[in-house]
Structure 1
Amino acid sequence: MTTSKPLSGCVAQYDPNALPVEAAQEIVRQWAMPREQEARVERVERVGLFDALDRVLADDVVSPIDVPAFDNSAMDGYAFAGAALASAPETLQLSVAGTALAGQPFAGEPNAGECVRIMTGALMPAGCDTVVPQELVTREADAVRFSRRAVNAGQNRRLSGEDLARGKPALRAGRIVRASDLGLLASLGIGEVAVRKRLVVAFFSTGDELRSVGETLAPGTLYDSNRYTLFAMLRRLGVDTFDLGIVRDDRASLEKALRQATEAADVVISSGGVSVGDADFTRELMSSLGDVAFWKIAMRPGRPLAFGRLWSGPRAGTGKPALFFGLPGNPVAVMATFYFIVREALLAMSGATPEAALRIGATCIERIRKRAGRTEFQRGIATRDAAGEWRVVTTGPQGSGVLSSMSEANCFIVLEHDRADIEAGEQVNIVPFNGLI
């Protein structure tokens, strides 16, 4: 059994009904890797390169070789000793002693007044330190002529270890492996790497009105879209998912789902059931199963948002812990709260080094009504004008149930906590979906 200090004291200095987004993010950041989680997440495994994409590196990758491993030509041309330029007349003429190809080096060393025809990537011949590009020379039979001003001594040569030196870190622990990293690792002759085991995230939707895709809709019911967007967002983060489906609005069903999820996962995410409705049992259960840091944040969409910790034991503080995010039920609010509150926490718990979402300044070309005292994430369509400057307009109605606005948009328009109405022509910050969603 493991115990830990309560989360509930985290918001003592804030209005519980108006917790700023930045404060909520900081609270989540502080608790994203509690001591109880470390043994589970810190476990590592070794995988081959084809299985390493999007995984989190557990250790620094140290280069076992110099890259490049030898001095080589940066372009197609003619290699020669650059010292010849110092005493050369206006036009330098050199005899071609042979050819160096990638993987087929020139044998021997050219004499004074000689050069070697060389291809990009080929080993620099002994005694040569300069390459004149082929398009800058005139070749006649077995000789080339070029202006002494066409090249400087030492130019167009890649030095051994110039990219990476033997014994230096090539990639740092905590990095999420990208496609380019696989190529880099392969260039070092590394066939497998140590990565952190995937974080396990359980998720479910709550509501008697929800139906799964394929079921018939009765009056007053609707299809559950939140599990599909949650699944997609989680999959993009490279975590293992555990879908508990739709949980009905009764205490027993919700308690069973929360206990099952806590036992199986590192993080539990629900959608719906965290507002003040009579049928919302999450608050009641959290008082016995866990501890909650906050229930509301000053965010639109996404005001009803619970963050806390659950325990798998018979009471709070006993058994295995899991962090809990109770997201709103409205589809757009689910996506907005995930990207701006949950995403960074999951990356941190996965062992990754989180990077803040890219924010770009843009000119708002319409008036936007906004109330000071909350952060708003409106859906926008950003374009670049003829001068290359970013301009943005909203997608239209910004209701948190208008899921089509997320498909139409290509960015979030971020309207900060203290900001009021935005007039046409004012500057705003946008977060592009590309790379985020």
Structure 2
Amino acid sequence: MLLLPLVLMAWASLQSGRVDDVLREAQPIGSDHAWLRVRQVLAGLACWLALAALVAGPATWLKLRLDAWRALKSRDFLYDRLFLCWRALGHWLVAYTGLLLGALALSLLYELSWGWSHFKAGGGFMLLVAVPLVAVLWAGCLLIGRLRQQWHALESPSLALLGQRIGRDKAPALWAWIEQLATASCAPVPDHVVVGIDQSFFVTSVDVALQPGGDLLCGRTLYLPLTYLSTLSQAETASIIGHELGHFSRRDTERGSEIGAQFSLMCLHLAFIRAEDADPAWIERPAIWMTQRFLHYFQLAVHHWGRAQELVADRAGSNIGGERLFCQALLRVIALDGEIQTLLAERHSNLIQALADHLSHTPLRLNKAALDHAITHPFDTHPPTALRLQQLGVTLDETLLAEATRVLTEHDRQWFRQLTRPASSTATQPVLPPISTVQEA
């Protein structure tokens, strides 16, 4: 952040000193004297651009730290200003990199001019030295292009998701059940329901681009993983969905979910900017470093407020069937997570059947180490499990562990399939079980 501007300033100062020495000695005359004046201007401009970059770096760093501190202290500041701070950072990175490139380009023009006019006196060597610096200059231009592209893309963020949308006409019983859960959670009904296999339960208000079809879903989306739907009971699933819908129950909770999604996309954009398959050029490293610092410090605020919202959503989930049932479902999801991730890595052609076969001879294991586990999903801000159980007043005893790690039953495997039968077979569908809500004291 400081080294590059200082190096460029020193280089420009040396160039300016060389011109001043020649002018004082009054050796070149005529037209060559005019070229010396041009080189003097080039060196002076390069020095000023490097100085501007030197001042802009620490100033932006201080502004970043101040904004991150305010976001940690104020939830409203985080929700209202995260995107504005990110956009301002993008403008600064483009400007800062542009200042460095400008200083480097002017210094290169100086050296190329000197090398050409002193070609016979060894100036050709300077022309060869300038070639690698031209490559660095080009890398910086490419970085500016990537920065502009990525920051512009985040102004309308979307999530690419592998899954299939289930409409009301395809599964009316499922939608009726979800509407019951939304009513019990005092939350709006999601606009879309998507099923997939490679994520856990989550909701989002970010636009979702479904793959491989390419459909764009706008509004509130509820994602249901078939892997867990075939291994949890319907009551356990209801508690988990109640938790997810709880993110929509209040505007500040929903905004927190949106911020978590937006921050995750920022992290993905950093991975693109870094171009991790290549060693970044030295002129790219200040921008990459500053972006990493931004995400590091704002992550503290995002996780701080996001975890608070998760605890609120836990309360919504516990209102469906009680605190103990919600904790049982939570622990079962944690116990299943490792097994599902292992099977996903093995790329089975029928993952659901492979999971059932695997669980038929592999008992689930869950111990107190799970208290340090945090369930992951695309916008993860979950607190440790121990804290979540503590906030709900549930003790992790042997009975709860046994219920969470029970052997897979036929009901666990079949209830969701029955609930999503086509509308033409509704006459044979089972009646939806009543949802017992637990009111807070």
TM-score range, shorter chain: under 0.3
Greater helix share, structure number: 2
Using structure 2 for the length normalisation, give the TM-score.
0.24
The alignment's TM-score, normalised by the length of structure 1, stands at 0.24
- Structure with the largest fraction of strand: 1
